[in-house]
Structure formats: structure tokens, C-alpha cells
Structure 1
Amino acid sequence: MSHFEIPKSQVAAVVERAGDHPVKSQEQLAHGECLVKLECSGACHTDFHAAVSVQMGWLPMIMLGDWPVPAKLPLIGGHEGVGIIETTPHGLHCLNCEHCKKGREQNCSQALCSGFTVDGTFQEYVVSYVNHVTPIPDGLPSDAAASILCAGVTVYRAIKYMIPGAGGGLGHLAIQYAPVRGLCVIAIDTGEEKKELCLGLGAEKWIDFMESKDIVQEVKDTTGGQGAHSAVVTAATAGGYQQAIEYLRSGSTLMCNGLPGKAELSASIFWTVFKSISIIGSYVGNRQDAAEAVDIAAKGLVKVHFVTKPLSDLENVYVGMQTGKIAGRVVLDMSKE
């Protein structure tokens, strides 16, 4: 914890308006809150889905707002922030309901979601909850750690709980976490840059869904005709989930990991039952998952492929997400304009 002077206002990307935004003082913090001076924040596809299309002065935001649950407005997006705690932490958070006691605090009915139900990390200072702050180990830079706190935790938990969109933010991390759990990877995505990234990170097979004439058959050919043991689908469209049912072998698992706004899971009931396929949804991760995911990254077993941009370039970042042009992640540097 540092002891810098805390300003009364800050620069923030606020949906519906822009400019200065107030900073909470020590006295204004509620029970269970602390104030973090952010060094950087990852830009996640979730933020792109969460809010609404608006025009904001210096920052014309293009955000879908297509989730069935509306975000609170006005809203500061972002949920992958790394920084320094600037105030004395206050008290505790829930952690006492059924979900929290079972290690699923991300499903708690009282959970407050950064960048969705409460203001997030696209600002210089953010209010966080003491029990949900993950310490970053020495030697792991803040910008490298930012995306681990959402994308990394999300795919790590999915892989961790499996019974036995590859080149994007979540997918490229899944490729690296999989070998830690003893798994071999077939990467499915599109684009030469993503191909080089996936193969360079250790994927044993690359399939370009825009060029492949038969994705299902390619997966089966790669796996000796039996199909994959499991599929972690991080795509924001329905096609990847539907194809997975076809290329998975009997007794396998489909782990749904993306959060498309309006796409529906359409699977053959006959083949799902006949092949004894388990379909599981995995939403982010808990505090233990976060600690494990960060520790693996700190040991050098997982590295985030990212580029750094200023907060003012957020519009172009979202355009890149919408067109599928971003390989890996984008991290927003709060010190750059």
C-alpha cells in the first residue's frame, strides 16, 4: 500500500458522458472497499458486449449492449485492472452465501461485477473489494498480469474442471494452460497472425475455419478418427459450439466459455445422448482459480501476447474486436494519452 496524495477527480471512459470523474476519498469508502491506483487495464470482449452504443465527446464508443441483462448506466467499463492499493482496506465482502461457501463466489447473487454493475477499470483509480484483490507476484509485470485476471482465469478454470476461438484473448491463453494440465491442443481460428501465434505457443494442430472444407473431419483425422476428448469454446458466435458436438468423441466434454449476447446453443440431442457428451458452462473463476492462474504465469509457463495502447484509443480496440482482427490481448496503459 502506498501513500500518494489522492486527487479529487480523474480521467475515465464513462458511457454516456466523458471527462473528469470523481475519485472516492478514504472516508467515502464503504465496508469491504479499498481504492486502487491503476497502472493498466486489459480490454476484454466482455466490455464490448456489456454496454450500449453512445457518442462520448473525445471517445466515440461502439459497444453492443446485446446481453440479456442490462448494465448500469452511466458506466465505466473494464475489469482487468492492475495497480497499487492507495487506501487502508475496509472490512469484508459477502462470502457467506451457498455459492460463496462452495467456492463459486462469481455466482453469488450479491456479486458486483466490475465494468458492468459497478464502475470498472477504464479509469485512473478504481474502488475494489478487499477479498477480491489478487496479489501480483514479484517479477510479473502489471501489463502482463492484467489479462490473466479475466481471460487467464476464465480459461484456466475451464481447463481445470474439464473431465479429461484459439488465437484471441482467451484462446491463446488456453493453449498455454492446457499443457500444464497434461493436454494437447488443436487450435481453431482464422488469420495468418493468429495461426503463427497459436502454433508458436505450442498448439499441435491449426485449423483455419475460413479455409477448412470440413472442420469436423480435420479434428477427427488429427485425433486418430475418434475426435477430441474435450473442447473449450471461447467464441462469441454459435457455430463453434455446434461443431464441437460433432467432432467430440464419446464420453467427452464441451466446455462453454464465451459469452455471446444473443447466440443460442443448438446441439443434436440424439448425438449428445448417444455419445454421452457433457455440456458445461464455466463463468470466469473464483479467488483460488485467480491465485493459481497468476502463479502459473509468474513461473513463466504462460505469457500473455498483448499490445499496449492508451485509454484514448479504446474505440479502435473495440473496432478490432468487432472485426476479429486482434490476436491476443490489448492492454490499456493509464499513464499514456
Structure 2
Amino acid sequence: MSTLEGFTIPKTQTAAVVKELGAPLEIEKSHPVKQAADLKPGECLVHISHTGVCHTDLHAKEGDWPVPSVHPLIGGHEGVGTIVAIGENTPNSPVKLGDRVGIKWMADSCLNCEFCRRGFEMNCPEVKLSGYTVDGTFSEYVVSYTNHVTPIPANLESAAAASILCAGVTTYKALKVSNTKVGDWVALPGAGGGLGHLAVQYAKAMGLKVIAIDTGAAKEKLVKSLGADVWIDFKTSKDIVADIQAASDGLGPHAALVTAASQTGYTQAISYLRKGGTLVCVGMPDAEMGANVFWTVFKSIRIQGSYVGTRQDAIESLDIAAAGKVKVIYEQKGLDALKSVYEDLEAGKIAGRVILEVSKQ
């Protein structure tokens, strides 16, 4: 075993635990911490300083996705912290004690199967998911995996880096597979949300023109400040399809990246997309897409699912943020505020992102 010099790993910690499906969130002050001697080869113990809160964490808590979550469970998958221990017999570790690293939704994969070799690590049959099938980052300490934790650039603050590890890499990867080029139009339903406000910035960094779709004055102000070329409020628009098409040369956007977990966002996209356009599916309502097959075929629409990103995508998305091209708009709270954050997420009240400060470092 290997422990950071001068660091003592405590026996217990504060953690937000959901003991069974649909159970209330409990803040436990004496949750056990896995000790260095108990780490398996390839595992590392990370002392968490900050973690983001994602809508996916709600699904993990309630177990309302077709893919089951494991309980009892510590949620969270946007964590930043310091490696304080590495399991014995971990050869050629790409990270070392004392490194500041990020923990993503994809906690681990085998790296050897066809999916991993082809760059679809997230689809590995042996994939482990942070805060879903293994404990996540709503705790002071979390066990993760040396091959999958992501080094954080030195000039990127931990609180901002947290959301890049999920919302950032997810939207960045989705734009990479959107079949767009510099100067193309992209529509972003849910643009003022946690994923959406980052998608606006990554799209601008990639040279795209952005149609931001959401509702409310706060979100309008946010997306315009981030560089959105057009704002459309879906609640006040009398004909949203016509408005989107009119804003993009009368032909419609070249791509739509739907980050909102709403079936409506998908059904509308087929109508407003430009011929030959791409619908990128990111938000995950457990519902049928409702895409009109006739118009999908007639307009030569491509439907592309995009599920998080690879280790390389994470590094690229962090580098773009470190270069100052993407800024995470967030409100910082303590871990004990998680329950109220969940309530605000369900009510759609959060513009940008909420970051929890878990421990001082």
C-alpha cells in the first residue's frame, strides 16, 4: 500500500447516503472510510474537495432509469480531490500520490474489450459508474481507479473543474459527434441549464452559431452573456419551429443538441432541423423519442446518441476550460445542502450549476 506522506486517513467521514430506492437522502457523519491497506490493485482513495450536482443523481436516488442503480448508495460523479492512497501492487499508475484529479460518471472500464479499444469505454460490459453502480463523490473520501481518474490542469480551480467532468465533457463530446463545422448553426434546447450553459460555450469555442432555447429572464441573461447568437423562449414563442428556422437562414440549424430531459425537445427537433441535419440525443427522459419517421427520412436527418465521453474527451474538455474559453457558472454550497439542491433541480429552478464544497484542502 502507498499513502500520501504526512496524511492520516480517518476511520469515518461525512457522506450523503441513500439507503434504498426512493429513500430520503441522509447526511451521515460517521460513514466508514476505506483504508489504504484495503485498497485493491488499481484503486486509489481520493480526498474530495468539491463535487458537482447533476440531474442524473436524482435518477440514481429514485432508481427510475431502465438501468438499475445500486443501493445503499453515495451519489455524485463530478468530484475533484487529491489522491491520498493507492492500492498495493498497482503497476505503471498514470497518477501519483498528491495529484489533484477528477472523478467522472465513468469510474472504470476494462480497457481491453472491443468497446474500450474502439473508443467506446462508456459502453464496456464491465463499466463501473460513479454514484450509480459504485459509490460516488457526495462524501469526503471516495475509492476510484488510477486508470480513469482525470488529472486537473493546474490553472483550473477545483470548483469549476467539477462540472466539466460530467456536464462539460458530455456536451463537448456531443458537439464533436454533431457533424457540424465552423460557421454552422446549432440549436440547444435547455441552454440555460447545467449542461446547456456549457454547451453554449463549447459550441462558440468550436466556431458554431448558437440558438439558445429555454425559458425565463435569468436563463436568457445567462446564455446571452455566454455568447449565444439567438435566444428563444419556448413558453412565449407562438411557433417555436418557425422561430428556430427563421433564426438560422430560414433553413433550420445544422444540428440540435438536446440536453433537456424532455420528450418534447426531441419531437420538435425533427421539424426544425435543416435537411441533412443531425439530432444529438443527450438528455435522457425514459420515454419514446416520438420522431416522425417520414420527415426523418425525407429530410435525411441523422439521429446520434451521445453518452458521456472517453478519458481523452475529458482531458480535451478540461484543457478548453483551462484556456479560458469555457467558464462554469455555479453557486457553491455545502454538502448538507444537497437535499434542497435536489428539490430545486426537480423544480427546474437552477440556472447554471451547483457545486458542493465537501472539504477544505
- TM-score interval, smaller chain: over 0.9
User: In 1, Cα distance between the equivalents of 2:335 and 2:27?
Assistant: 12
* 2:60 paired residue number: 50
Amino acid paired to 1:47: D
Decide whether the 8 Å contact of 1:2 with 1:84 is kept in 2.
Answer: no
Match of 2:195 among 154, 167, 170: 170
1:218 aligns with 2:236: no
User: In 1, Cα distance between the equivalents of 2:239 and 2:41?
Assistant: 55
Q: CA deviation at 1:31?
A: 2.2
Amino acid paired to 1:33: E
Decide whether the 8 Å contact of 2:174 with 2:282 is kept in 1.
Answer: yes
Deviation digits for residues 170-223 of structure 1 (CA, Å, limit 9, x no counterpart): 000000001222211000011111100001000000011111111100011111
User: In 2, Cα distance between the equivalents of 1:200 and 1:213?
Assistant: 25
Decide whether the 8 Å contact of 1:253 with 1:279 is kept in 2.
Answer: yes
Deviation digits for residues 113-139 of structure 1 (CA, Å, limit 9, x no counterpart): 000000000000011111111111111
Q: CA deviation at 1:335?
A: 2.8
Match of 1:131 among 121, 124, 147: 147
User: In 1, Cα distance between the equivalents of 2:193 and 2:40?
Assistant: 37
Q: CA deviation at 1:263?
A: 2.3
The TM-score, its normalising length taken from structure 2, stands at 0.87
Instruction: Name stretches of at least 5 consecutive residues in structure 1 with no aligned partner.
Output: 53-64
What's the RMSD between the two structures over aligned residues? 1.3
* 1:142 paired residue number: 158
Amino acid paired to 2:282: N
1:34 aligns with 2:58: no
1:118 aligns with 2:128: no
Deviation digits for residues 15-52 of structure 1 (CA, Å, limit 9, x no counterpart): 02552211111111112110000001000000011122
User: In 1, Cα distance between the equivalents of 2:154 and 2:69?
Assistant: 35
Structure 1, 16-25 or 112-121: larger mean CA deviation = 16-25
* 1:60 paired residue number: none
- The runs of at least 4 consecutive aligned structure 1 residues that moved more than 2 Å come to 88-93
Deviation digits for residues 220-246 of structure 1 (CA, Å, limit 9, x no counterpart): 111121011000000111001110110
Identity value in percent: 60
Decide whether the 8 Å contact of 1:79 with 1:150 is kept in 2.
Answer: yes
Aligned residues: 323
1:189 aligns with 2:205: no
Amino acid paired to 1:256: C
User: In 2, Cα distance between the equivalents of 1:315 and 1:214?
Assistant: 37
Decide whether the 8 Å contact of 2:241 with 2:268 is kept in 1.
Answer: yes
Amino acid paired to 1:266: G
1:98 aligns with 2:138: no
Q: CA deviation at 1:268?
A: 0.7
Q: CA deviation at 1:331?
A: 0.3
Structure 1, 312-321 or 117-126: larger mean CA deviation = 312-321
Deviation digits for residues 61-103 of structure 1 (CA, Å, limit 9, x no counterpart): xxxx311122101000000000000013535761000010011
* 2:15 paired residue number: 12
- Structure number with higher relative contact order (C-alpha < 8 Å, ≥ 6 residues apart): 1
Amino acid paired to 2:61: A
User: In 2, Cα distance between the equivalents of 1:315 and 1:34?
Assistant: 28
Structure 1, 165-174 or 82-91: larger mean CA deviation = 82-91
User: In 1, Cα distance between the equivalents of 2:162 and 2:245?
Assistant: 36
User: In 2, Cα distance between the equivalents of 1:184 and 1:30?
Assistant: 47
Alignment of 1:1-337 (within 5 A): 2-3=4-5, 4-16=7-19, 18-19=27-28, 20-52=30-62, 65-88=63-86, 90-91=90-91, 94-164=110-180, 165-260=190-285, 262-335=286-359
User: In 2, Cα distance between the equivalents of 1:332 and 1:323?
Assistant: 19
